[in-house]
């Protein structure tokens, strides 16, 4: 919002900003970040990607260009590197920041807590410090439902007590606390804390999706890699939970719905001083075996799996009440994970990723036009 004061001394006039917003997307070549960059370009904004490729690949930028017809600005760097961030803010106009950078594996966070507190907490503090130095105070933070822990019931809303039970969730809670304390001390900040439930799916083109470096930590990319032969079988941890089929149940949200929530958060923030916190989920739940069967039906591929003992710290089931997101952001999840094509798109993405060099070379030679998936 721009406030214009007439020279005659009349009442100020409030004008919505019509200029193109420049959005810094940290972790912008990752799973959610890449979908966010695509959506920002489609919305007429100018995303600037800052990523160290610790869990992604530079080729993602080629695929973003294939989808949008526009190549986003890419700067390689680590958000813990204060001088690199200062150079970034000096070199490019930045109006707001969406922070996806960080580590996100629960097991790894327990094995190496210092790594997680360094990447997630220290990195975000460095980023906020540089933002403050350059007068940029609009910030959308990628948080997680893991901040809730296990309150003894399954449907979480924003009033559910915060009691993370693993170091990944603890790192997200610590960042949230930093943001709450910062806003209390400096109430001119404009901050949205978005607590994700379980993102799945891929872009409708099949060109970007979840394809992490190394062994996947999330269920859907693991299923996809089993489908294309990159993994022998899926490990299902526990089949004796009090759920419909004994396997764990989660609130799976399509990644494209998730990025719409970020776009709505930017629209609501619009540089106005405020701190809002909302859950982003569907309000429903799906078990592990239900997700496997849905993928098999959509892809035509059998997914072999083996039942393993429960993992320590895993909760049987949880999902969100999405009402506050609807109220504050005007946002609701529109894509179901059982919608036609949602799993086959994730599958086609991973099939293409089996030979990315040939695929990208063919793109640069003009041999692979973008076509929406059926």
Tell how strand 13-15 and strand 2-4 pair up: antiparallel
State the catalytic residue, choosing from 168, 241, 252, 305: 168
CB distance 126 to 83 below 8 Å: no
* Interacting residues of 170 by C-beta distance below 8 A, sequence separation 6+: 109, 164
Buried b or exposed e, range 311-320, using 16+ CB within 10 angstroms = eeeebbbbbb
- Catalytic annotation on 168? yes
Catalytic residues: 168
């Amino acid at each position: 919002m721009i406030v214009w004061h007439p020279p005659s001394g009349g009442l100020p006039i409030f004008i919505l900003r019509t200029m193109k917003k420049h959005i810094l997307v940290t972790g912008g070549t990752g799973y959610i970040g890449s979908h966010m960059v695509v959506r920002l370009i489609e919305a007429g904004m100018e995303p600037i990607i800052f990523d160290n490729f610790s869990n992604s690949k530079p080729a993602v930028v080629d695929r973003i260009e294939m989808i949008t017809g526009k190549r986003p600005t890419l700067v390689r760097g680590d958000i813990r590197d204060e001088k690199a961030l200062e150079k970034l803010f000096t070199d490019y106009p930045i109006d707001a920041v969406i922070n996806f950078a960080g580590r996100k594996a629960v097991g790894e966070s327990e094995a190496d807590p210092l790594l997680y507190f360094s990447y997630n907490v220290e990195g975000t503090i460095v980023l906020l410090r540089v933002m403050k130095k350059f007068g940029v105070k609009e910030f959308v933070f990628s948080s997680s439902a893991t901040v809730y822990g296990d309150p003894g019931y399954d449907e979480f809303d924003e009033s559910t007590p915060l009691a993370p039970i693993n170091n990944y969730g603890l790192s997200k809670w610590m960042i949230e606390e930093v943001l709450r304390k910062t806003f209390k001390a400096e109430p001119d900040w404009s901050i949205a804390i978005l607590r994700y439930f379980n993102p799945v799916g891929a872009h409708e083109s099949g060109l970007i999706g979840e394809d992490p470096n190394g062994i996947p930590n999330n269920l859907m990319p693991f299923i996809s890699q089993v489908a294309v032969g990159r993994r022998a079988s899926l490990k299902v941890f526990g089949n004796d939970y009090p759920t419909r089929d004994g396997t764990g149940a989660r609130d799976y949200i399509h990644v494209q719905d998730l990025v719409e929530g970020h776009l709505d958060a930017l629209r609501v923030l619009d540089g106005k001083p405020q701190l809002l916190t909302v859950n982003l989920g569907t309000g429903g739940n799906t078990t592990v075996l239900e997700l496997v069967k849905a993928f098999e039906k959509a892809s035509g591929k059998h997914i072999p799996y083996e039942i393993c003992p429960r993992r320590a710290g895993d909760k049987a089931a949880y999902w969100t009440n999405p009402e506050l997101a609807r109220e504050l952001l005007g946002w609701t999840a529109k894509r179901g994970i059982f919608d036609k094509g949602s799993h086959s798109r994730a599958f086609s993405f991973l099939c293409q990723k089996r030979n990315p060099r040939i695929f990208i070379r063919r793109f640069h030679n003009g041999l692979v036009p973008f076509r929406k998936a059926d």
